[in-house]
Structure 1
């Protein structure tokens, strides 16, 4: 019998099909109507959104929406081409200029998604004679960028400067002239922990390595002007490439990389995820440009972190086993078993709170997580409501 190409997915399908009948499915939930950055109608019920990564609440910002509407009217719905063909409009160049101003960098390149930004830069910059050294808890896009490229990949223990030093020293002993790219994240998405960038970048530079920092979950959130953890820890001058996304704090879709490397523009000629993907539509470009301008002068960062501290403290005080501390907009409850985590998610949605269900292999160390990502647009009253429902369901399921 010929092997079915889908047989290898049977165990995953079996797990999916074993989910409880009735109610919303955590992996196929549909928002029937989005009312605001923090509320939506799900299963006919108004629901607080506690898992959208909409950190600055920009999805309903009036200035961003007006910019997007005007762009559709003036330039249409899409470019129908890649950046190296017909897909570069003046507005794409303006967005890249806005990024250069935002970061104070000489170069900026915009991708159609944040995933493609990591995929393209990592796979292109590090060649067959080079090394990519990554944190063990790196995002899937970083791992996939490594898989797409030809460099030798080396992992180090999560947020462990000493282990990074050992890995780099071993590479240098073996191959003193090798090119090395160390890839870090400002904030790690599942548990919301910050990287010790000051220590990690120093070690990297001591071994003559280049440093790339993915600020996807930290742009807008940290730093005096919202540039991320590298700005907050004062190490921007030691970072060679900063990658980010527009799909979180910026409130739309797309990705980018900024750099001061004098040969950076070569990426436009050799980076396949940039060259062979249709460019961002004018409406997205316009709203992203406006959002970046607003974020640079925003006073929302302190409100966002106040919200995070309030939720994390409330959950910890209630007795939940927390994977987070409130140092980022992410709050994650550790749940001892997968079926219990799925049940937890289902009960929370019934109670009017949408939370991300995060399961292995997407999570570090095999954790089952109920993961919140807060917004500056959440009110304290909404966070009190979340806490009330978390405690209610936690007691109902015997977790607290």
Structure 2
């Protein structure tokens, strides 16, 4: 997700006038109003009236297959996970009403961090209230004024915001371009603090980073490495530890950031590390210190889910089959996809423009299928995408049904 999503152009203001603070959003407001005036259903305001399972919900009064939820491992309705949350709610109440450094660390928070340390086989784990805060907090705390952050231009907004908050020098490079990354590192003054920030899976197109090569180059220039594994944790790698594990570089990476809102199936974020000074971050990381901790029921569900994901090899194998089946089927139907081959649980379908993308999204919803509509400036290269996120609980029959829905909707809208 590019930095531009939160950086609209500044409108011109005549001398003596007070600028309307909302005027910078006028173009976006006009675009949205134009889209809705055509009778298009608002793709960014869908309400799920009832969620039936990890793969089904009632939307607009009808049974709908969910293909846009990031519930990769289908843990949201796991009986053990749900029961753990219920028990914690009964035993500890609804919330902590405090920060982790004051009264907000319960036994469940420590158990959740223990589960993360065991899952990653790392020395340290720090749980945040959201995945966004994990990136915001760790990046802004370890790289500050006078330091340099080298990052992929397609990095998530939370990464860009962490860079801005810490006031380090930000040096972006072309997406997944190893040569461009090395050129940026080569130009940084000798002796300066350097942090390379990468993602395992990039969420818009579902493509993975060449971490083996990139981590080697980063280390060659003496940089620390942080990898955001939000969209790969639980699924990619032999033990589900992400692209770092798959690429064989997990021991060379200094920090791994992740979230509980995807494969883990709840909400929250984390950072794991083997750095010997890591624990000091609990006292100096502002998004950790100055926010309330996660409710006991949430950390209980997260810890239970993480421990079950340690034994999720069968689920991981089935999810890979689902990804291959959907990617191959959409390609055979004539859709343009974000990757040549399936690389993750995300399959991005490229639309000709926003208008036809929105029409295709609505046609699929009327078929009984929910996907994500992603639009500029959140997308790379100003693309409009229909982003499909597969789940380990999708059956083979559901994937075939999804392909039939895409075929009918694609023909009706004129995409294929």
Structures share fold, TM-score greater than 0.5? yes
Alignment partner, residue 259 of structure 1: 273
What secondary structure, in the 3-state scheme, does the structure 2 residue paired with 1:119 have?
A: helix
Instruction: Name the counterpart of 2:169.
Output: 152
After TM superposition, give the deviation of residue 336 of structure 1 in Å: 1.1
Contact 2:40–2:359 at 8 Å: present in 1 too? no
Aligned equivalents of 1:9, 1:167: Cα separation in 2: 33
Residue in 1 that maps onto 2:380: 364
Residue in 1 aligned with 2:332? Answer: 317
Is the Cα–Cα contact under 8 Å of residues 309 and 326 in structure 1 kept in the other structure? yes
CA distance in structure 2 between the aligned counterparts of 1:85 and 1:374, rounded to whole angstroms: 39
Q: How many residues align?
A: 397
Check the 8 A contact 1:360/1:367 in 2, yes or no.
Answer: yes
CA distance in 1: counterparts of 2:64 and 2:319, whole angstroms: 20
Question: 2:30 aligned with 1:30, yes or no?
Answer: no
Give the whole-Å Cα distance in 2 for the aligned partners of 1:352 and 1:77.
35
Q: Secondary structure in 1 aligned to 2:348?
A: strand
350, 369, 373: which one aligns with 2:366 = 350
Aligned pairs for 1:63-102 within 5 A? 63-102=80-119
* Separation in 1, partners of 2:201, 2:225: 15
Is it true that 1:197 corresponds to 2:214 in the alignment? Answer: no
Asked if residue 46 in structure 1 is aligned to residue 60 in structure 2, the reply is no
Matched, 1:391 2:407: yes
Alpha-carbon shift at residue 17 of structure 1 (Å): 1.5
- Residues 243, 255 of structure 1: 8 Å contact kept: yes
Looking at structure 2, the residues matched to 322 and 92 of structure 1 have their Cα atoms a distance apart, in angstroms, of 40
User: Which residue in 1 is equivalent to 2:306?
Assistant: 292
Give the C-alpha shift of residue 3 in structure 1: 2.7
Distance 1:369 1:2 in 2: 38
Partners of 1:264 and 1:291 in 2: how far apart? Answer: 25
Match of 1:176 in 2: 190
Q: 2:318 matched to 1:303?
A: yes
CA distance in 2, matches of 1:102, 1:210: 22
C-alpha displacement of 1:23? 6.7
> Does the residue aligned with 2:207 lie in a helix, a strand or coil?
coil
Q: Is the 8 A contact 1:305 1:327 kept in 2?
A: no
Shift of 1:2: 3.4
TM-score for the superposition, normalised by structure 2: 0.94
Once residues 108 and 328 of structure 2 are traced to their aligned partners in structure 1, the CA distance between those partners, rounded to angstroms, is 43
Q: Deviations over 1:330-378 (max 9, x none)?
A: 1111111111111111111111000000011111111110110000000
Q: TM-score, normalised by structure 1?
A: 0.98
The 3-state SS of whatever aligns with 1:357 is strand
Q: 222, 225, 234: which one pairs with 1:211?
A: 225
**In the alignment, which of 316, 319, 338 is matched to residue 354 of structure 2?**
338
Q: 1:32 is paired with a residue of what secondary structure?
A: strand
1:128 counterpart residue number: 145
Distance in 2, matches of 1:39 and 1:23, equals: 23
- Dislocated runs of 4+, deviation >3 Å: 20-24
Cα deviation 1:145-203 (Å, max 9, x = unaligned): 111111100001111111111110111xxx11011000000000011111110000000
Alignment match, 1:272: 286
Structure 1 match to 2:180:
163
The 2-side partners of 1:393 and 1:73 are apart by 46
2:129 is the counterpart of 1:115: no
Query: Is the aligned partner of 1:230 residue 2:252?
Result: no
1:207-265 residue CA offsets vs partner (Å, 9 max, x unmatched): 00000000000001111111101011110111000000000000000000011111111
The answer to whether the Cα contact below 8 Å between 2:112 and 2:299 also exists between their aligned partners in 1 is yes
Deviation, 1:11, is: 1.1
Contact 2:40–2:358, Cα closer than 8 Å, also in 1: no
Aligned match of 2:256 in 218, 230, 242? 242
Task: Give the secondary-structure state (helix, strand or coil) at the position aligned to 1:224.
Answer: coil
Two-structure CA RMSD over aligned residues (Å): 1.0
**Contiguous gaps of at least 5 residues in structure 2:** 1-16
Report if the CA contact (8 A) 1:187-1:217 is conserved: yes
Distance in 1 of aligned mates of 2:79 and 2:167 = 45
